[in-house]
């Protein structure tokens, strides 16, 4: 069973989009190159076709970016809820938030959290504004803590 530490959950919201930015840059560079070639030689249809292909790729890329943006907004909201929950548990139990880990990186009902050597099942009320911790015992001893 995997447990995610506070540091992992906090850093998860800072995902590196390097590959996505590289592809976007290459497509925009290709569009710029095809535009310049088309403007120089307006009679050659090959350049116009390249321009249309890159324009369609840009439209497709914008669609992907909008979907990724909406997903990242949802992920950021769920991560901030989880961080706030861990901070709340740390304050309530008067422990450091660094020794608290959960078996889910997103807040959900009936998840398991580990505080030191103790395990608790979390039951949330309807709008996740309140929670109840119930002490439990883990059967499987193969627990892995993911910090990075």
Put the strands of the sheet holding 111-115 in their side by side order: 131-136, 118-124, 111-115, 100-102, 2-5, 144-146
Whole-angstrom Cα distance, residue 41 to residue 132?
A: 71
Q: What share of the chain is helix, strand, coil (3-state, %, to 5)?
A: 55, 20, 25
Least confident range of 41-45, 54-58, 71-75: 41-45
- Its pTM stands at 0.64
CB-count exposure of residue 71 (10 Å: 0-12, 13-18, 19+): exposed
List pLDDT tens digits, range 72-125: 778 778 888 888 889 999 999 899 888 898 988 888 888 999 998 889 999 988
Query: Residue 76's pLDDT is what?
Result: 76
Over range 54-59, report the average pLDDT. 85
């Amino acid at each position: 069973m995997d447990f995610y530490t506070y540091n992992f959950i906090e850093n998860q919201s800072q995902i590196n989009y390097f590959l996505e930015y590289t592809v976007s840059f290459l497509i925009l560079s290709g569009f710029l190159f095809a535009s310049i070639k088309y403007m120089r030689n307006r009679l050659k249809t090959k350049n116009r076709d390249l321009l249309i292909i890159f324009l369609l790729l840009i439209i497709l890329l914008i669609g992907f970016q909008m979907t990724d943006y909406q997903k990242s907004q949802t992920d950021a909201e769920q991560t901030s809820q989880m961080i706030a929950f861990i901070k709340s548990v740390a304050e309530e139990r008067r422990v450091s938030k660094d020794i608290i880990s959960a078996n889910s990186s997103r807040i959900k009902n009936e998840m398991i959290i580990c505080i030191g050597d103790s395990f608790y099942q979390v039951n949330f009320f309807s709008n996740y504004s309140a929670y109840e911790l119930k002490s439990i015992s883990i059967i499987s001893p193969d627990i892995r803590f993911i910090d990075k």
